[in-house]
């Protein structure tokens, strides 16, 4: 940057319903931006287009965050983060940004941060990473090495927040931010009419909005499933340990009365074999549960991405309708390409995720059957204790066994419930109506002749 802008300490906030976007080439040079971007960044549009995106870099943003961004993008994956930017007049402003590959370059769509817990966690992490980076620089490390130090520190902070990695953080935070935005935004008004292709875009966006709302309804179910998968994964190994403790205890107790009640020992032996089998199954299932959870979070992320990009399409259409000299139909068409990519990505991710979910569902079903059988043996063993009149001798042992039997019902119900939910969420969604609508928006945006485009009523759930 030729003239370095210094932060003045002024802080600007992004409007709760604002959608700020820009596109860049493969190196991060700005190729287009909406008016919202130029306004908040306080740079004339002409100074923005053709400038590297670090034109709005804030000195308090750690280099590690941008390294993580570029590494993720270069791996072909979308990236989301809270970013503090520096406007041309020295004011700082925070955004929640989502950057996706688009053609040979990238698209970034930003909204106001709306989930305070995540935002403050990110800001706290950045402050800490910045300290590590300054120290590394003071020790004589160069820019690349400093960014690496920052990136590592950032990963450590994300871990401390309870996330497995940066991807899990993004896949959790982004849908939460988009849901918060969805609560603030106003749906596209069917009465909002314009002439020509832009009119078609806006009226079709009403229908797109409705279809995406249908998809968004899946977010809650997917979130609940992700949480349940995490709980069962966490509890599964503890349950295995508890089960083997109890079966060992029953065996040990049975051995002490093998003369008077030999049948107890054979029941305990059978139970222990079954228990070991269940233990093995649950232990093998644990990484699968984690994989299923990651897949579920990925699908949620893709759906939220589609929601975000619809907002960008609507904003661009409105701006073009107002006679923008900066944005044209080609930009709208580009945004529609992003939206199509999101839908294709969501479908693909759901297909991959569905395979994992079905596998996990079957595994859980099997574990459920075996565990129930083990618990039946345990219940039989428990009934045999008074029947063979060894209650007094075995009194010190039975209390943990009774505890296990009391928990059994709950644990079995949790396994069964999760198996059912996995099967339910593995159902594919029908995105054909939505794709048809996006094609219609793209066709209108491209100023293409609308002849041959199916009438609205057949394109799927249109007004």
**Contacts to ligand FMN by CB under 6 A:** 24, 28, 52-54, 56-57, 61, 63, 66, 83, 85, 97, 99, 106, 108
Closest separation in Å from C-beta 373 to ligand FMN: 56
DSSP tag of 456: G
Encoded tokens for 327? 């944005």
Nearer to ligand FMN, 85 or 247 (CB): 85
Nearer to ligand FMN, 37 or 381 (CB): 37
Closest separation in Å from C-beta 156 to ligand FMN: 21
Closest separation in Å from C-beta 311 to ligand FMN: 17
Closest separation in Å from C-beta 146 to ligand FMN: 10
Residues facing residue 115 across a β-bridge: none
Question: Is there a contact between 311 and 258 (Cβ–Cβ < 8 Å)?
Answer: no
Nearer to ligand FMN, 95 or 285 (CB): 95
141-146 long-range contacts (CB < 8 A, ≥24 apart) are: 143/63, 146/63
What are the E-state strand segments in 25-136?
30-33, 79-86, 92-102, 105-111
Encoded tokens for 87? 């406007």
Nearer to ligand FMN, 142 or 323 (CB): 142
Closest separation in Å from C-beta 28 to ligand FMN: 3
331-334 long-range contacts (CB < 8 A, ≥24 apart) are: 331/23, 331/32, 332/201, 332/441, 332/442, 332/445, 333/442, 333/445, 333/446, 334/23, 334/32, 334/102, 334/103, 334/107
Encoded tokens for 150? 């920052």
Closest separation in Å from C-beta 115 to ligand FMN: 19
Nearer to ligand FMN, 99 or 394 (CB): 99
Closest separation in Å from C-beta 102 to ligand FMN: 8
Residues facing residue 109 across a β-bridge: 21, 98
Encoded tokens for 75? 């791996």
Closest separation in Å from C-beta 24 to ligand FMN: 4
Question: Is there a contact between 71 and 42 (Cβ–Cβ < 8 Å)?
Answer: no
Closest separation in Å from C-beta 349 to ligand FMN: 22
Nearer to ligand FMN, 104 or 189 (CB): 104
CB-CB neighbours of 395 under 10 Å: 11
Nearer to ligand FMN, 28 or 345 (CB): 28
What are the E-state strand segments in 334-443?
none
Cα 8 versus chain centre, distance = 35
Nearer to ligand FMN, 104 or 410 (CB): 104
Closest separation in Å from C-beta 108 to ligand FMN: 4
Among 288, 312, 306, 428, CA closest to 364: 288
Nearer to ligand FMN, 105 or 275 (CB): 105
User: For residues 330 and 336, what is the distance between their CA atoms, to the nearest angstrom?
Assistant: 10
User: For residues 363 and 341, what is the distance between their CA atoms, to the nearest angstrom?
Assistant: 33
**Terminal CA-CA length for the chain:** 49
Nearer to ligand FMN, 85 or 204 (CB): 85
Q: Which residue is nearest to ligand FMN (CB)?
A: 28
What is the DSSP secondary-structure string of 213-280? Answer: HHHHHHHHHHHHHHHHHHHHHHHHHHHHHHHHHHHHHHHHHHHHTTTT-HHHHHHHHHHHHHHHHHHH
């Amino acid at each position: 940057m030729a003239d370095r802008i210094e932060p003045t300490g002024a802080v600007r906030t992004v409007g709760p319903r604002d959608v700020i976007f820009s596109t860049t080439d493969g190196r991060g040079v700005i190729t287009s931006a909406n008016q919202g971007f130029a306004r908040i960044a306080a740079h004339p549009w002409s100074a923005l287009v053709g400038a590297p995106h670090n034109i709005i870099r804030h000195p308090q943003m750690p280099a590690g965050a941008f390294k993580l961004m570029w590494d993720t993008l270069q791996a072909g994956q979308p990236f989301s983060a809270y970013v503090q930017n520096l406007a041309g007049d020295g004011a700082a402003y925070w955004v929640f940004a989502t950057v996706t590959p688009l053609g040979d370059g990238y698209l970034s769509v930003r909204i106001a941060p709306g989930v305070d817990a995540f935002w403050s966690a990110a800001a706290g992490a950045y402050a800490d990473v910045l300290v590590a980076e300054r120290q590394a620089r003071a020790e004589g490390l160069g820019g690349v090495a400093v960014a690496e130090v920052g990136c590592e520190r950032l990963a450590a902070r994300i871990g401390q927040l309870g996330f497995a990695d940066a991807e899990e953080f993004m896949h959790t935070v982004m849908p939460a931010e988009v849901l918060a935005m969805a609560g603030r935004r106003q749906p596209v008004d069917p009465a909002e009419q314009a002439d020509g292709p832009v009119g078609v875009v806006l009226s079709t966006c009403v229908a797109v909005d409705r279809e995406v709302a249908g998809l968004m309804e899946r977010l809650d179910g997917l979130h609940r499933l992700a949480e349940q998968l995490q709980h069962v994964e966490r509890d599964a190994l503890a349950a295995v340990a508890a089960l083997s403790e109890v079966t060992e205890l029953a065996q040990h107790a049975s051995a002490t009365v093998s003369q008077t009640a030999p049948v107890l020992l054979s029941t305990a032996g059978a139970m222990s074999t079954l228990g070991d089998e269940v233990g093995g199954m649950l232990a093998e299932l644990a990484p699968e549960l984690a994989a299923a959870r990651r897949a579920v979070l990925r699908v949620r992320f893709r759906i939220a991405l589609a929601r975000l990009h619809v907002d960008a399409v609507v904003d661009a259409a409105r701006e073009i309708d107002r006679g923008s000299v900066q944005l044209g139909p080609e930009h709208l068409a580009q945004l529609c390409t992003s939206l199509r990519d999101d839908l294709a990505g969501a479908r693909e991710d759901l297909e991959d995720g569905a395979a994992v979910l079905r596998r996990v569902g079957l595994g859980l079903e099997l574990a459920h059957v075996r565990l129930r059988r083990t618990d039946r043996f345990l219940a039989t063993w428990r009934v045999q204790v008074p029947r063979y009149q060894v209650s007094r001798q075995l009194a010190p042992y039975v209390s943990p066994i009774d505890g296990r039997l009391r928990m059994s019902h709950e644990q079995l119900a949790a396994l069964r419930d999760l198996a059912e939910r996995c099967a339910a969420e593995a159902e594919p969604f029908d995105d054909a109506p939505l794709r048809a609508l996006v094609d219609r928006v793209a066709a209108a945006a491209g100023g293409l002749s609308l002849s041959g485009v199916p009438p609205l009523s057949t394109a799927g759930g249109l007004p």
